[in-house]
Structure 1
């Protein structure tokens, strides 16, 4: 049943995408839209093939920045969430400051990071990390605080230690929320890496799009957008796959949704 639903969903997405591309192609042809304003899907597909080596080289750089920034956000975000949940001081004093920092546009912090860290990949990774960090820590805090009082009383009645309560009760209850934060964080890491390449890089898809924009190469800009969309979809679904493998009980409790 689940396989049938996945097959139907994949077919629906494919048909919708093909229909949108066909309408796009038809509009460009019927209204003779200039390629320097809106290239056709066939033009973009042809450019993806002809300049595939260049796009793949820059994609590899951007992908490394995304994965590294996301990995750091997970590495620091989950322990920070645990500290916030178990420490009243961090919950009342530090967590509101993190929320305030998140309200500051990351593009305004980028020049400071360039001054401190230099013009290079470290800056891009740090920016991707900072953008992905907040949704991960918030989702983890919400999930870790979602354990019901009855469940906590049950664990205490079983004479479970604090570590056992965390490992066997609180953490499993929080994992769906944590993975939700991972899904948001991985997509925001894509945004962070591209924004960082706009301001402090001489390589990567963001840099390639800036070069294409300077040359009024609209087709290449669309090619970069396509590559970024593919990266985002692949990474998002990869996180979803890990979630399904790690949390089979959660999927079963939702009827295989």
Structure 2
């Protein structure tokens, strides 16, 4: 076995423990600083609860918080899935047809520039209370990164692959399917990984505005903070962060399984 092969064979075993250890160290340090700050500056619970108080807030309403976590997770996945379907289709159209890009790219940029929080009350007016405005908000928040990453990936086909397709006398569709799409997948996954946490943010904003729904972590944050129960509100925030982390790394795992050639061809 050559030296580079030996190094690459040994690398996963060295990196695997650190991949788990360093994030845990970061979480422990952040919680410790948070705890010390609340104790050192004698911060009132209503302003910033300490970590034990957040745990107590979760213990008071475990079933309510867990059910709300499931609702938020489900809506985030649905909104994200919808944005993937539409975003990849529009990104493909932008990459495949220049007039489409010239006609609609400025409009997409304008839509992305509008603060989504400002649209949240209008979502309730347009779609009423319930799940629809929540999904619409999640869709709007994570739609543009997927369009941009898809179009960028499909346009940026490596020159050697394009030359190979021409040498094989491949048709336009064959070139697209066998060369451009596989080459674009790493870039597309960049947009997906960026959009996944944004979907959770969009769902939480939609839940905060759609106050008629009694489910979702965003609704719990609004209700409990309005009652002065910031411990439970922070417990909901922690659960929301955990949902984002879990969904993000599930997407990373999917990328790792779906794109084995990327690991083999990159340093």
Q: TM-score, normalised by structure 1?
A: 0.94
**Where does residue 123 of structure 1 map in the other structure?**
133
Among residues 216, 235, 245, which one is paired with 1:204 in the alignment? 216
Q: Residues 154 and 181 of structure 2 are in contact (CA less than 8 Å); yes or no, is this contact kept in structure 1?
A: yes
Over 3 Å counting, the alpha-carbon distance change for 1:43 and 1:156 in structure 2 is same
**Where does residue 238 of structure 1 map in the other structure?**
250
Return the alpha-carbon distance in structure 1 between the equivalents of residues 42 and 61 of structure 2. Answer: 25
Return the alpha-carbon distance in structure 2 between the equivalents of residues 242 and 215 of structure 1. Answer: 41
Q: Deviations over 1:93-133 (max 9, x none)?
A: 11121111110111222233222211110111011011111
**Where does residue 182 of structure 1 map in the other structure?**
192
Aligned-residue CA RMSD (Å): 1.5
**Where does residue 57 of structure 1 map in the other structure?**
67
3-12 or 159-168, which moves further after superposition?
3-12
1:146: how far off? 0.6
Return the alpha-carbon distance in structure 1 between the equivalents of residues 100 and 263 of structure 2. Answer: 33
25-34 or 54-63, which moves further after superposition?
25-34
Note if 1:166 corresponds to 2:176: yes
Unpaired segments ≥5 residues, structure 2: 1-10
**Where does residue 164 of structure 2 map in the other structure?**
154
Over 3 Å counting, the alpha-carbon distance change for 1:108 and 1:19 in structure 2 is closer
Return the alpha-carbon distance in structure 1 between the equivalents of residues 160 and 103 of structure 2. Answer: 28
16-25 or 95-104, which moves further after superposition?
16-25
**Where does residue 227 of structure 1 map in the other structure?**
239
Return the alpha-carbon distance in structure 2 between the equivalents of residues 85 and 11 of structure 1. Answer: 41
1:30: how far off? 4.2
Q: Residues 158 and 183 of structure 2 are in contact (CA less than 8 Å); yes or no, is this contact kept in structure 1?
A: no
Among residues 118, 135, 146, which one is paired with 1:136 in the alignment? 146
**Where does residue 102 of structure 1 map in the other structure?**
112
**Where does residue 24 of structure 1 map in the other structure?**
34
1:31: how far off? 4.1
1:225: how far off? 1.0
Q: Residues 56 and 231 of structure 2 are in contact (CA less than 8 Å); yes or no, is this contact kept in structure 1?
A: no
Q: TM-score, normalised by structure 2?
A: 0.90
Aligned pair count reads 255
Unpaired segments ≥5 residues, structure 1: none
2:228 alignment partner, SS class: coil
Return the alpha-carbon distance in structure 1 between the equivalents of residues 74 and 255 of structure 2. Answer: 22
Note if 1:34 corresponds to 2:34: no
Alignment of 1:65-76 (within 5 A): 65-76=75-86
Q: Deviations over 1:200-257 (max 9, x none)?
A: 14221111000011111111121011001100000000110000000111022223xx
Return the alpha-carbon distance in structure 1 between the equivalents of residues 38 and 160 of structure 2. Answer: 62
